[in-house]
Amino acid sequence: MLQNTKSDYQIAQQQILEGIVSGEFEIENRKDLGPLIPIRLFQALRMVALGSNVEDILGQGAPSLVYHSGQSLGLAMGKIAAANIDKDLETYVGKIKMLCRQLSIGLVVPDRVDLNAGVLELRVDECVSCAGIHNVSAPICHFEAGMVGGIVKTFFNRNVKATETKCNALGDKTCLIRVDLM
Amino acid sequence: MSNIHLLNTRKSQSSEIDSILRNLMSIQGVSAAAIIDNDGFVTHIHRDSEVNTDAIGASVQVVFGAAARSAAHVGHHGTNMVICENTEGYILSTPIDAGFILALVTQRDALLGRVRFELKETIPVLKKLFSSYLAN
Ligand SMILES: [Zn+2]
Protein backbone atom coordinates (compact mmCIF):
# COMPACT_ATOMS: atom_id res chain seq x y z
CA MET A 1 0.00 0.00 0.00
CA LEU A 2 1.12 3.54 -0.69
CA GLN A 3 2.36 5.52 2.29
CA ASN A 4 0.78 8.89 3.17
CA THR A 5 -2.34 8.32 1.10
CA LYS A 6 -5.39 10.07 2.51
CA SER A 7 -8.12 8.14 4.27
CA ASP A 8 -11.65 8.46 2.91
CA TYR A 9 -12.60 10.64 5.89
CA GLN A 10 -9.66 12.95 5.11
CA ILE A 11 -10.76 13.16 1.47
CA ALA A 12 -14.31 14.08 2.56
CA GLN A 13 -12.94 16.57 5.10
CA GLN A 14 -10.93 18.34 2.40
CA GLN A 15 -13.96 18.67 0.14
CA ILE A 16 -16.12 19.98 3.00
CA LEU A 17 -13.54 22.56 4.04
CA GLU A 18 -13.04 23.65 0.43
CA GLY A 19 -16.81 24.10 0.21
CA ILE A 20 -16.74 26.30 3.32
CA VAL A 21 -13.81 28.38 2.01
CA SER A 22 -15.56 28.95 -1.32
CA GLY A 23 -18.57 30.46 0.46
CA GLU A 24 -20.70 28.50 -1.99
CA PHE A 25 -23.60 26.91 -0.11
CA GLU A 26 -25.35 25.20 -3.00
CA ILE A 27 -24.55 21.51 -3.09
CA GLU A 28 -24.86 18.78 -5.69
CA ASN A 29 -27.18 15.77 -5.23
CA ARG A 30 -29.69 17.76 -3.14
CA LYS A 31 -31.90 19.07 -5.91
CA ASP A 32 -35.15 18.83 -3.98
CA LEU A 33 -33.92 19.03 -0.38
CA GLY A 34 -31.34 21.81 -0.73
CA PRO A 35 -28.29 22.60 1.41
CA LEU A 36 -29.98 23.21 4.80
CA ILE A 37 -30.84 20.62 7.47
CA PRO A 38 -32.98 20.85 10.64
CA ILE A 39 -30.92 21.87 13.67
CA ARG A 40 -32.09 18.75 15.53
CA LEU A 41 -30.30 16.58 12.96
CA PHE A 42 -27.07 18.46 13.59
CA GLN A 43 -27.64 18.11 17.34
CA ALA A 44 -28.20 14.37 16.95
CA LEU A 45 -24.82 14.11 15.23
CA ARG A 46 -23.17 16.34 17.81
CA MET A 47 -24.74 15.11 21.07
CA VAL A 48 -25.49 11.50 20.10
CA ALA A 49 -22.94 10.39 17.47
CA LEU A 50 -20.20 12.66 18.87
CA GLY A 51 -21.61 12.64 22.41
CA SER A 52 -23.38 9.85 24.20
CA ASN A 53 -22.25 7.17 21.71
CA VAL A 54 -18.62 8.23 21.98
CA GLU A 55 -19.04 8.31 25.75
CA ASP A 56 -20.35 4.72 25.67
CA ILE A 57 -17.10 3.58 24.06
CA LEU A 58 -14.57 6.02 25.50
CA GLY A 59 -15.95 6.93 28.92
CA GLN A 60 -13.90 9.78 30.36
CA GLY A 61 -12.02 10.02 27.04
CA ALA A 62 -15.10 11.41 25.28
CA PRO A 63 -14.66 15.14 26.09
CA SER A 64 -11.06 14.99 24.83
CA LEU A 65 -12.11 13.52 21.51
CA VAL A 66 -14.92 16.06 21.11
CA TYR A 67 -12.65 18.98 22.12
CA HIS A 68 -9.95 17.77 19.73
CA SER A 69 -12.49 17.49 16.86
CA GLY A 70 -13.72 21.02 17.52
CA GLN A 71 -10.13 22.25 17.63
CA SER A 72 -9.43 20.75 14.20
CA LEU A 73 -12.38 22.66 12.75
CA GLY A 74 -11.25 25.82 14.58
CA LEU A 75 -7.73 25.51 13.14
CA ALA A 76 -9.19 25.18 9.62
CA MET A 77 -11.52 28.16 10.16
CA GLY A 78 -8.63 30.15 11.61
CA LYS A 79 -6.54 29.48 8.50
CA ILE A 80 -9.37 30.75 6.30
CA ALA A 81 -9.84 33.89 8.41
CA ALA A 82 -6.12 34.62 8.80
CA ALA A 83 -5.50 34.82 5.04
CA ASN A 84 -4.58 38.31 3.78
CA ILE A 85 -5.38 40.28 6.95
CA ASP A 86 -1.86 41.20 8.03
CA LYS A 87 -2.29 39.83 11.57
CA ASP A 88 -4.96 42.37 12.50
CA LEU A 89 -6.95 40.98 15.45
CA GLU A 90 -10.06 43.07 14.82
CA THR A 91 -10.30 41.99 11.17
CA TYR A 92 -9.68 38.39 12.21
CA VAL A 93 -12.47 38.45 14.80
CA GLY A 94 -14.77 40.11 12.24
CA LYS A 95 -14.11 37.34 9.71
CA ILE A 96 -14.65 34.63 12.35
CA LYS A 97 -17.93 36.25 13.43
CA MET A 98 -19.10 36.27 9.83
CA LEU A 99 -18.03 32.67 9.20
CA CYS A 100 -19.81 31.44 12.36
CA ARG A 101 -22.97 33.31 11.33
CA GLN A 102 -22.82 31.97 7.74
CA LEU A 103 -22.42 28.44 9.04
CA SER A 104 -25.12 29.02 11.72
CA ILE A 105 -22.67 27.87 14.42
CA GLY A 106 -23.72 30.80 16.59
CA LEU A 107 -23.32 34.54 17.09
CA VAL A 108 -19.78 35.09 18.32
CA VAL A 109 -19.24 38.14 20.53
CA PRO A 110 -15.90 38.96 22.20
CA ASP A 111 -16.73 39.63 25.86
CA ARG A 112 -13.28 40.26 27.25
CA VAL A 113 -9.89 40.57 25.60
CA ASP A 114 -7.03 40.98 28.08
CA LEU A 115 -3.85 40.19 26.21
CA ASN A 116 -1.66 41.23 29.17
CA ALA A 117 -3.32 38.60 31.33
CA GLY A 118 -3.38 36.21 28.35
CA VAL A 119 -7.15 35.72 28.62
CA LEU A 120 -9.92 36.05 26.04
CA GLU A 121 -13.58 35.36 26.64
CA LEU A 122 -15.95 34.87 23.74
CA ARG A 123 -19.68 34.47 23.91
CA VAL A 124 -21.42 32.13 21.51
CA ASP A 125 -25.06 33.28 21.46
CA GLU A 126 -27.62 30.96 19.89
CA CYS A 127 -25.09 28.11 20.00
CA VAL A 128 -26.05 25.44 17.45
CA SER A 129 -25.08 22.53 19.70
CA CYS A 130 -27.06 23.29 22.86
CA ALA A 131 -30.00 25.42 21.66
CA GLY A 132 -33.19 23.96 23.12
CA ILE A 133 -31.31 21.64 25.51
CA HIS A 134 -31.90 22.02 29.27
CA ASN A 135 -31.16 20.61 32.71
CA VAL A 136 -27.62 19.38 32.14
CA SER A 137 -25.22 19.35 35.11
CA ALA A 138 -22.16 20.88 33.42
CA PRO A 139 -21.32 22.79 30.21
CA ILE A 140 -21.70 20.43 27.24
CA CYS A 141 -20.25 22.39 24.31
CA HIS A 142 -16.77 20.82 24.34
CA PHE A 143 -16.80 20.91 20.54
CA GLU A 144 -17.36 24.68 20.46
CA ALA A 145 -14.77 25.20 23.20
CA GLY A 146 -12.26 23.27 21.08
CA MET A 147 -13.29 25.21 17.98
CA VAL A 148 -12.78 28.59 19.69
CA GLY A 149 -9.48 27.28 21.09
CA GLY A 150 -8.36 26.34 17.57
CA ILE A 151 -9.37 29.73 16.18
CA VAL A 152 -7.44 31.62 18.88
CA LYS A 153 -4.47 29.25 18.62
CA THR A 154 -4.19 29.90 14.87
CA PHE A 155 -4.08 33.69 15.30
CA PHE A 156 -1.60 33.83 18.19
CA ASN A 157 0.37 30.74 17.15
CA ARG A 158 0.52 29.74 20.81
CA ASN A 159 -0.77 26.88 22.89
CA VAL A 160 -4.16 27.70 24.34
CA LYS A 161 -6.61 26.11 26.73
CA ALA A 162 -10.27 26.84 26.04
CA THR A 163 -12.95 26.09 28.62
CA GLU A 164 -16.68 26.60 28.42
CA THR A 165 -17.55 28.41 31.65
CA LYS A 166 -21.21 29.22 30.92
CA CYS A 167 -23.58 27.15 28.83
CA ASN A 168 -27.06 27.82 27.50
CA ALA A 169 -27.99 24.22 28.37
CA LEU A 170 -27.22 25.07 32.02
CA GLY A 171 -29.68 27.98 31.86
CA ASP A 172 -27.02 30.64 31.25
CA LYS A 173 -28.72 32.02 28.08
CA THR A 174 -25.37 31.96 26.26
CA CYS A 175 -22.24 29.85 25.99
CA LEU A 176 -19.14 31.62 27.30
CA ILE A 177 -15.76 30.27 26.32
CA ARG A 178 -12.66 31.35 28.18
CA VAL A 179 -9.36 30.98 26.37
CA ASP A 180 -6.09 31.06 28.29
CA LEU A 181 -2.96 31.73 26.21
CA MET A 182 -0.16 29.52 27.53
CA MET B 1 -19.21 14.25 30.56
CA SER B 2 -17.25 15.86 33.35
CA ASN B 3 -17.45 19.11 35.27
CA ILE B 4 -15.17 22.07 34.59
CA HIS B 5 -11.81 22.02 36.32
CA LEU B 6 -9.64 25.02 35.68
CA LEU B 7 -6.09 24.40 36.85
CA ASN B 8 -4.06 27.55 36.67
CA THR B 9 -0.77 26.22 35.41
CA ARG B 10 0.99 29.52 35.98
CA LYS B 11 0.61 29.37 39.75
CA SER B 12 3.88 29.07 41.61
CA GLN B 13 2.53 25.89 43.24
CA SER B 14 2.77 24.15 39.91
CA SER B 15 6.54 24.07 40.42
CA GLU B 16 5.83 21.20 42.82
CA ILE B 17 4.27 19.28 39.94
CA ASP B 18 7.26 20.13 37.77
CA SER B 19 9.66 18.75 40.33
CA ILE B 20 7.64 15.52 40.51
CA LEU B 21 7.80 15.17 36.73
CA ARG B 22 11.53 15.91 36.80
CA ASN B 23 12.00 13.07 39.31
CA LEU B 24 10.08 10.70 37.05
CA MET B 25 12.26 11.74 34.10
CA SER B 26 15.34 10.67 36.06
CA ILE B 27 14.18 7.02 35.99
CA GLN B 28 16.17 5.01 33.45
CA GLY B 29 14.52 4.94 30.02
CA VAL B 30 11.77 7.50 30.75
CA SER B 31 11.64 9.98 27.84
CA ALA B 32 8.51 12.01 28.67
CA ALA B 33 6.28 12.68 31.66
CA ALA B 34 3.05 14.62 31.26
CA ILE B 35 -0.09 15.61 33.07
CA ILE B 36 -3.21 15.76 30.95
CA ASP B 37 -6.55 17.31 31.92
CA ASN B 38 -10.02 15.96 31.22
CA ASP B 39 -10.20 17.79 27.86
CA GLY B 40 -6.95 16.16 26.72
CA PHE B 41 -4.94 19.33 27.30
CA VAL B 42 -1.36 18.81 28.45
CA THR B 43 -1.02 21.04 31.52
CA HIS B 44 2.56 20.03 32.39
CA ILE B 45 5.20 18.17 30.42
CA HIS B 46 8.86 17.26 30.63
CA ARG B 47 10.34 15.49 27.63
CA ASP B 48 13.60 14.62 25.93
CA SER B 49 12.39 15.40 22.42
CA GLU B 50 9.62 17.31 20.63
CA VAL B 51 6.11 15.90 21.08
CA ASN B 52 2.81 17.06 19.51
CA THR B 53 1.16 17.82 22.84
CA ASP B 54 -2.37 18.36 21.42
CA ALA B 55 -2.42 14.97 19.75
CA ILE B 56 -0.77 13.00 22.56
CA GLY B 57 -3.01 14.57 25.23
CA ALA B 58 -6.24 13.68 23.45
CA SER B 59 -4.96 10.19 22.52
CA VAL B 60 -3.94 9.34 26.08
CA GLN B 61 -7.38 10.33 27.40
CA VAL B 62 -9.13 8.39 24.63
CA VAL B 63 -7.02 5.24 25.15
CA PHE B 64 -7.42 5.39 28.93
CA GLY B 65 -11.19 5.93 28.62
CA ALA B 66 -11.59 3.08 26.12
CA ALA B 67 -9.51 0.71 28.26
CA ALA B 68 -11.53 1.56 31.38
CA ARG B 69 -14.77 0.99 29.43
CA SER B 70 -13.63 -2.38 28.09
CA ALA B 71 -12.57 -3.36 31.63
CA ALA B 72 -16.04 -2.45 32.88
CA HIS B 73 -17.54 -4.87 30.34
CA VAL B 74 -15.79 -7.75 32.12
CA GLY B 75 -16.75 -6.50 35.56
CA HIS B 76 -13.49 -4.67 36.38
CA HIS B 77 -14.45 -1.28 37.73
CA GLY B 78 -11.31 0.39 39.00
CA THR B 79 -8.80 1.11 36.24
CA ASN B 80 -5.58 2.16 37.95
CA MET B 81 -3.18 2.01 35.03
CA VAL B 82 -3.14 1.48 31.27
CA ILE B 83 0.07 0.19 29.72
CA CYS B 84 0.65 0.39 25.97
CA GLU B 85 3.57 -1.80 24.87
CA ASN B 86 5.16 -0.72 21.60
CA THR B 87 8.19 -1.90 19.63
CA GLU B 88 10.01 1.27 20.70
CA GLY B 89 8.92 1.39 24.33
CA TYR B 90 5.92 1.87 26.61
CA ILE B 91 3.27 4.46 27.37
CA LEU B 92 1.84 4.19 30.89
CA SER B 93 -1.16 6.24 31.99
CA THR B 94 -2.56 6.54 35.49
CA PRO B 95 -5.55 8.56 36.72
CA ILE B 96 -4.88 11.30 39.29
CA ASP B 97 -8.11 13.09 40.19
CA ALA B 98 -11.02 14.87 38.50
CA GLY B 99 -10.19 13.37 35.09
CA PHE B 100 -6.49 14.33 35.16
CA ILE B 101 -4.04 11.64 34.00
CA LEU B 102 -0.32 11.20 34.54
CA ALA B 103 1.33 9.66 31.46
CA LEU B 104 4.89 8.38 31.09
CA VAL B 105 6.62 7.53 27.84
CA THR B 106 9.62 5.23 27.99
CA GLN B 107 12.19 3.77 25.65
CA ARG B 108 12.49 0.03 25.16
CA ASP B 109 15.32 -0.34 27.68
CA ALA B 110 13.22 0.98 30.57
CA LEU B 111 12.53 -1.50 33.36
CA LEU B 112 8.76 -1.75 33.30
CA GLY B 113 8.50 -2.97 36.91
CA ARG B 114 10.58 -0.08 38.17
CA VAL B 115 8.65 2.53 36.18
CA ARG B 116 5.35 1.04 37.30
CA PHE B 117 6.47 1.05 40.93
CA GLU B 118 7.58 4.69 40.77
CA LEU B 119 4.27 5.68 39.14
CA LYS B 120 2.32 3.98 41.92
CA GLU B 121 4.43 5.78 44.53
CA THR B 122 3.90 9.14 42.81
CA ILE B 123 0.14 9.04 42.38
CA PRO B 124 -0.83 9.56 46.07
CA VAL B 125 1.47 12.61 46.22
CA LEU B 126 -0.10 14.08 43.08
CA LYS B 127 -3.61 13.28 44.34
CA LYS B 128 -2.91 15.28 47.48
CA LEU B 129 -1.53 18.24 45.50
CA PHE B 130 -4.47 18.20 43.08
CA SER B 131 -7.12 18.00 45.77
CA SER B 132 -5.75 21.19 47.31
CA TYR B 133 -5.48 22.95 43.90
CA LEU B 134 -8.96 21.99 42.80
CA ALA B 135 -10.46 23.01 46.14
CA ASN B 136 -9.12 26.58 45.67
ZN1 LIG C 1 -23.04 25.48 25.60
In this prediction the pTM is 0.85
Q: Which of B4, B58, B69 sits opposite A64 (nearest CB)?
A: B58
ipTM: 0.79
Give the distance from residue B88's alpha carbon to the nearest chain A alpha carbon, in angstroms: 20
Pairing label, strands B42-47, A107-114:
unpaired
Which stretches of chain A score pLDDT less than 70?
1-3
**pLDDT the model gives residue B5:** 52
How many Cβ atoms from other residues are within 10 Å of residue B39's Cβ? Answer: 27
Q: How many domains does chain B have?
A: 1
**pLDDT the model gives residue B9:** 47
pLDDT digits (tens, 9 = 90+) for B26-76: 999 999 999 999 889 999 999 998 888 888 899 999 999 999 999 999 999
Burial of B62 (0-12, 13-18, 19+ CB in 10 A): buried
**d(C-alpha A68, C-alpha A161), whole Å:** 11
**pLDDT the model gives residue B32:** 95
pLDDT for B8 beyond 70 = no
pLDDT for B135 beyond 80 = no
Q: What CATH number should be reported for the domain holding residue B24?
A: 3.30.450.30
**pLDDT the model gives residue B2:** 39
How many Cβ atoms from other residues are within 10 Å of residue A107's Cβ? Answer: 14
> Is B134 in CB contact (< 8 Å) with chain A?
no
CA of A40 to the centre of ligand 1 (A): 15
Contacts of B62 in chain A (CB under 8 A): 58, 61, 64-65
pLDDT digits (tens, 9 = 90+) for B91-113: 999 999 989 999 999 999 999 99
Contacts of A164 in chain B (CB under 8 A): 4
Q: Which residues pair with A108 in a beta bridge?
A: A124
B74 within 8 A of A74, measured Cβ to Cβ: no
Contacts of B40 in chain A (CB under 8 A): 61, 63-65, 67-68
pLDDT for B120 beyond 50 = yes
**pLDDT the model gives residue A125:** 97
Q: What superfamily does domain A8-25+37-181 belong to in CATH? A: Trafficking protein particle complex subunit 3 (3.30.1380.20)
Task: From B78, B82, B45, B76, select the one nearest B62 (Cα to Cα).
Answer: B82
